[in-house]
A = this chain, B = another copy of it.
Amino acid sequence: MTYVNVLHMACGTRERNPMTTLEYKLLGMLARQPMSGYDLVSHLKQPFVPFGPISHTQIYPALASLERKGLVRYHIVEQQAVRPDKKVYELTEEGRTALRQWAESPTPLVFSYDEFFLKAYSLWLADPERMIERFREQAQLHQEKLALYEQVLQSKQLAINAGSEQADVFEERDVLFQYVIGYEQNYLAWCQSVLQYLEQRKHQHSQEGKQV
């Protein structure tokens, strides 16, 4: 064991723990609008927030960690009745800088596929009938999601015409919608083309059955 590699940590305490993806997601949302932990959870359920579901049990410790790092601060909002007070978090200047630097940094391509695609890898040993069923099911689900996205996008564009918020943020958002809509379209088209193939093969097999 040779070099101890001091360097790099130069300043005493600095940041003990590096940032996680989760923390950047939270920063990303808080940068647009100050919110409490609970608000973040409900916000994540909206169809136009592109981060998956995150449970509150992860969010509260993460917010505390961001605060320790000086990237967010909160002020307490008292609630009516006996409810616990709300802690509304917002970014500090350091937080905004950290988020911008992260967004501006290069990203390597690491691909992860969805579970249905993984199953498709072992499709060849499945029962054809049941597989057709599953692909129909999947096509249905993606179609619904696509319809939802298109609907939200439409109502969002109406809001732009009404001039209710800053056009800048909205324009950027449409960029995100472009992607997810394209994604769903591709998935749907794939399901349909596989269905076509499977059903064609089914008919071939049944005819072969008659001949034999």
Contact = CB atoms under 8 A, between A and B. Distances in A.
Contacts of A104: 126-127, 130-131, 134
A110 B31 contact: no
Interface residues on A, range: 35 or more
Contacts of A126: 100, 103-104
Contact of A118 (B21, B117, B138): B21
Copies assembled:
2
Nearest to A175: B194
A110 B103 contact: no
Contact of A183 (B28, B137, B168, B186): B186
A116 interface: yes
Given A190-B182, A197-B175, A116 B107 contact: yes
A169 B137 CA distance: 23
A50 interface: yes
Interface in A76-112: 96, 99-100, 102-112
Contacts of A113: 50-52
A179 interface: yes
A122 B178 contact: no
B117 A103 contact: no
A125 interface: yes
Contacts of A21: 115, 118
Contacts of A175: 120, 123, 194, 197
Contact of A107 (B100, B119, B121, B122): B119
A77 to B, nearest CB: 25
Contacts of A99: 122, 125
Task: Enumerate the 7 nearest inter-chain pairs by beta-carbon distance, A residue then B residue, closest first.
Answer: A107-B116, A124-B172, A103-B122, A182-B186, A103-B119, A28-B122, A104-B130
Interface of A: 21, 24-25, 27-28, 31, 50-52, 96, 99-100, 102-127, 130-131, 134, 137-138, 141-142, 145, 168-169, 172, 175-176, 178-179, 182-183, 185-187, 189-190, 193-194, 197
